[in-house]
């Protein structure tokens, strides 16, 4: 009888795949500068794809200890700086002080999208593994922007995406519609008071070009999020 793989081995597989993605995403010129063979890049992509195909959303949630979240699918906070900026050291709305920075994992599935919300803080989305997400940014000047966060650099996708502070945003899974694993880093660090859930009808009216998308994403939610909002 075969032994079930340990949780430690499974977690290592997730993290190894994320590391390999960084190698696979290098252009040939950069790969050469990094003393990486051009022939290794397709192999790295193949290994990343194989690892991604071998993982289920449930397994990732277990391995990374992700929990249902009010705004961002499934989340685990991985870092809150022990250093902080004292009260008065930042302008409003951070005048009461904040940690220097914070970070979290988040996972999106077909029924657990990034729900419509904003945080006061600047944040950076990072792609790690799985399918891309379609991110909608609702800028304060009335513009809307659609960005694909994912691994296809030649196709115009981005492995990092800045979300300026106070920008309402929402996102959904695209591609094979299995799962997306990424991260958000924020500065200064987020506290609960920094998070605001968006009023769907009000924002759909203000941003008519993406109103149908905002409504469709909201309608796709199936998981039950815990009480209270968190960042993402």
At 36, the pLDDT band (50, 70, 90 cuts) reads very low
Q: Which pLDDT score, from 0 to 100, does residue 90 have?
A: 77
At 99, the pLDDT band (50, 70, 90 cuts) reads confident
SS (H, E, C) 90-109: CCCCCCCCEECCEEEEEEEE
Structure-token match 């199936």, residue found:
222
Closest CA to 98 of 116, 117, 122: 122
In the predicted model, what is the mean pLDDT of residues 60-82?
95
Q: Which pLDDT score, from 0 to 100, does residue 30 have?
A: 45
Give 102-148 pLDDT, tens digit per residue.
Answer: 999 999 999 999 999 999 999 999 999 999 999 999 999 999 999 99
In the predicted model, what is the mean pLDDT of residues 44-65?
81
Q: Is the pLDDT of residue 48 over 80?
A: no
Long-range contacts of 145-151 (CB under 8 A, 24+ apart): 146/210, 146/213, 148/174, 149/125, 149/180, 149/182, 150/174, 150/175, 150/180, 151/21, 151/24, 151/25, 151/127
- Rounded to whole angstroms, how far apart are CA atoms 170 and 149? 12
């Amino acid at each position: 009888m075969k032994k079930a793989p340990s949780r430690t081995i499974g977690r290592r597989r997730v993290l190894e795949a994320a590391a390999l993605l960084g190698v696979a995403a290098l252009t040939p010129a950069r790969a050469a500068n990094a003393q990486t063979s051009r022939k290794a890049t397709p192999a790295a992509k193949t290994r990343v794809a194989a690892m991604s195909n071998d993982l289920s959303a449930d397994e990732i949630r277990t391995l990374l200890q992700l929990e249902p979240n009010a705004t961002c699918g499934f989340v685990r906070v991985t870092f809150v700086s022990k250093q902080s900026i004292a009260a008065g050291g930042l302008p409003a709305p951070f005048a009461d002080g904040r940690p220097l920075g914070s970070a979290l994992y988040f996972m999106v599935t077909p029924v657990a999208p990034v729900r419509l919300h904003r945080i006061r803080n600047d944040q950076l989305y990072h792609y790690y593994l799985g399918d891309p997400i379609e991110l909608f940014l609702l800028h304060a000047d009335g513009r809307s922007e659609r960005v694909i966060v994912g691994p296809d650099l030649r196709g115009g996708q981005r492995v990092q995406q800045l979300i300026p502070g106070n920008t309402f945003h929402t996102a959904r899974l695209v591609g094979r519609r299995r799962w997306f694993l990424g991260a958000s880093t924020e500065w200064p660090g987020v506290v609960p008071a920094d998070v605001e859930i968006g009023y769907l009808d009000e924002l759909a009216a203000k941003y008519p070009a993406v109103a149908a998308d905002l409504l469709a994403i909201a309608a796709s939610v199936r998981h039950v999020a815990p009480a209270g909002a968190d960042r993402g």
